[in-house]
Amino acid sequence: MKHLGIIVMKFNKTKNYSHLLIPLILSLLLNCGETHYILKEDTPPISEGFFGFRWTTPMSTVETEFQKQPGVNVVSELNRANTSCFSGANFLGYAISLSKFTFDGKGLNTVKLVIKLDSSKIEDVFYSLKENLTNIYGGVTSTFGIRKHNEPPDYLEYFSWTERRLELKLMPHNTVEINAYRDSPHFKAITNN
């Protein structure tokens, strides 16, 4: 809005262009729609959003836009008042079994991507995703691992980036999970709910 004031001042100093103000204001308002909500890149900076959506994206926009991806289906039995779930999406070249978006009053709050594979591919996919996420978001900031018999799926492994706002987890039952958060879970208050 500061820019609008500068434009008005310049108009007033030269000639009277007040008849242009209404179309200019309407143009600014009409152009402030979906582009503020949807990022066209697949991997925006985690501070702005994740999986192509800004953290300010409302639930209705995610539901409308995400279904435009080829092969994406709504998983209605998992949907809640503040949750939208989909199957059939792709992320960094891998098929996603479940994409779960949660929302609050500010818009998109968390994104969970679940990849289920057979045991012969799970480690390769996990470490490939780690490498791809590191190339996009920088170095890993924390790690954790529990190995039992050194064979999947009997161990857990965890990597995170940017104050734990992005997490990659290798879970039991041949599952890889990626979680992205609008705010760092590291700094959230503990509640007894």
Q: Which amino acid is at 174?
A: N
* Predicted confidence (pLDDT) per residue in 32-45, tens digit: 555 578 887 767 78
Most confident of 20-24, 29-33, 75-79, 130-134: 130-134
Question: How far apart are the C-alpha atoms of 129 and 189, rounded to whole Å?
Answer: 30
Q: Are 53 and 43 in contact (CB under 8 A)?
A: no
For residue 34, report the phi and psi dihedrals to the nearest 5 degrees.
-60, -30
Residue labelled with tokens 């192509």: 52
Tell me what the pLDDT averaged over the chain comes to. 78
pLDDT at 53: 93
Residue labelled with tokens 């000639």: 15
* Average pLDDT over every residue of 43-48: 84
User: 30-66 burial by CB neighbour count: b if 16+ within 10 A, else e?
Assistant: eeeeeeebbbeeebbebeebbbbbbbebebebbeeeb
pLDDT at 140: 83
Contacts of 9 (CB under 8 A, 6+ apart): none
Strand, helix or coil for residue 182: coil
Q: 81 in the Ramachandran plot: left (φ > 0), alpha (ψ -120 to 50) or beta?
A: alpha
* Average pLDDT over every residue of 79-88: 92
